Amino acid sequence: MEVLALIYRNLRARPIRSILTLLGIVVSTASMVLFMSFGEGLRKALGAELSAVGPAVLVLPEGVEAFSPGYPELRPEAVEALKKAAPDLGINQVIPYVVLTRGGFDPQSSFFFQGIPDGLSPKALYPNLALAEGTLTPSPRGAVVGSRLAERNQLSLGKALRLSPRISLRVEGILKGSGGLSDNIIFVPASVVQEVLGTRNYTAAAVGVSAGFTADQVAEAIKARIAGVSAQTTGDVMRFAERAVRISDLVRFGISLVALIVGGLLVANTVMMSVYERIREFGLMRALGAKQGFIFGLVLLEALLLGVVGGLLGLALGQAASGLVNWYTGREVGVALSAITFRLASFALLVAVVLGLLAGFLPARTASRLKVVEALGRL
């Protein structure tokens, strides 16, 4: 307790420098927590979205990944081959769809169209969907709109949606909110989207698995039987997403590392200046019998205390910033993109502790090696 009181008294004697140093650690830790929370949020959001999808296997053109379909390249011949071979492959439904995106980076001006087979309800793809008003199955020139997108763009039944200068649809149904990405999708007939894009191809096909078969078995059978396609299970898609998220985690950590280094330098500067200002004090302590290890531990503990307190405050600030991000993304797209897990919080505090130890090591070493005669000789 006496050591802690001595450290507190020293930090309080230089309040401005101590507060500025603490703020540096708080900001650097909070920025790291916020950046890394996006990866945790994406993992949770993707898991929730994939669990809401009905069909267990996704069939794509060969060489195309689930999250980068690009221009539709799944040929109708491949879809027909899937339907014909369905009983032999353990398939109970084949739902080809085509995707069209309109707008920019701003969610307010972005529209995501998913074209499904004519006369099919979107519940075939997303079983948890529920209708708020209108009809659930769009007509050949109709559209069913997700709740959040309808609210954001003030879309009501009968309103026109223009896909191209010569093609427009009427809103025929509005879905209830589900709290997922489907709240931001406009479901339309696939033939309309294909007409807009000038193609007969599809983006992908969702495949249901018959009783007695596993998704992995069906995926392997599709790849062996149908040429020019790849088949991915929900687990495959999640593993691919996990790899992508880990890469983005490394990028975000690299960015936040700059802030951490700056925070570490601030701690090192404060502790080193404190050492130089207290040389005479350290000399008196050594003259009274204090050992080098005690001086080393005293200075190192001071740096560690700054790191721990700054880390805790940074974690709290990061949590508040994460909540603000989720409020915005929840309002705009209906998905929480930030999540601070126990793993992330523990990692942030560990980084803060290591930061304090590394920043305080050199000043502590310098203070412990001061010669008593030289230290007492300074005024």
> DSSP of 202-250, one letter per residue?
BSEEEEEE-TT--HHHHHHHHHHHSTTEEEEEHHHHHHHHHHHHHHHHH
Within-domain flag for 56: no
Q: What is the mean pLDDT of the chain?
A: 80
125/180 same-domain check: yes
Last residue of a domain, one of 227, 258, 292: 227
Those residues whose C-beta lies under 8 Å from the C-beta of residue 30, and which sit 6 or more positions away, are 314, 315, 317, 318, 321
88/223 same-domain check: yes
Within-domain flag for 358: yes
Within-domain flag for 238: no
Last residue of a domain, one of 202, 227, 252: 227
76/223 same-domain check: yes
Buried b (16+ CB within 10 A) or exposed e, 3-28: eeeebeebbeeeeeebeebbebbbbb
Q: Name the phi and psi angles at 289, rounded to 5.
A: 110, 0
In Å, how far are 148, 186, 201 from 178, measured between CA atoms? Answer: 9, 14, 30
Q: Is 165 exposed, middle or buried (0-12, 13-18, 19+ CB in 10 A)?
A: exposed
Q: Angle, to 10 degrees, between the axis of helix 234-277 and the axis of helix 292-333? A: 140
Nearest to 351 by CA among 379, 302, 298, 315: 315
Amino acid residing at 17? R
Within-domain flag for 55: no
Identify the segments of the chain with pLDDT beneath 50.
379
257/156 same-domain check: no
250/341 same-domain check: yes
Last residue of a domain, one of 182, 199, 227: 227
Q: How many domains does the chain have?
A: 2
Within-domain flag for 332: yes
Question: What is the tens place of the pLDDT at every residue in 143-192?
Answer: 999 888 888 888 889 898 888 888 889 999 999 887 777 788 899 999 99
40/104 same-domain check: no
pTM (whole model) above 0.85: no
Other C-beta atoms lying within 10 Å of the C-beta of residue 130 = 11
16/88 same-domain check: no
160/26 same-domain check: no
Alpha-helix runs per DSSP H in the chain:
2-13, 15-52, 76-89, 147-152, 190-197, 215-225, 234-277, 279-287, 292-333, 342-368, 372-377
Within-domain flag for 286: yes
Q: Is 48 exposed, middle or buried (0-12, 13-18, 19+ CB in 10 A)?
A: middle
Within-domain flag for 239: no
22/89 same-domain check: no
Q: Which domain holds residue 337?
A: 2-47+244-377
Would you call 100 helix, strand, or coil by DSSP?
Answer: strand
CA-based R_g, the chain, Å = 30
174/317 same-domain check: no
**229, 59 Cβ separation under 8 angstroms:** yes
**313, 302 Cβ separation under 8 angstroms:** no
68/174 same-domain check: yes
302/230 Cα distance (integer angstroms): 58
Within-domain flag for 232: no
Quick one: pLDDT at residue 379?
A: 47
Quick one: pLDDT at residue 38?
A: 82
197/282 same-domain check: no
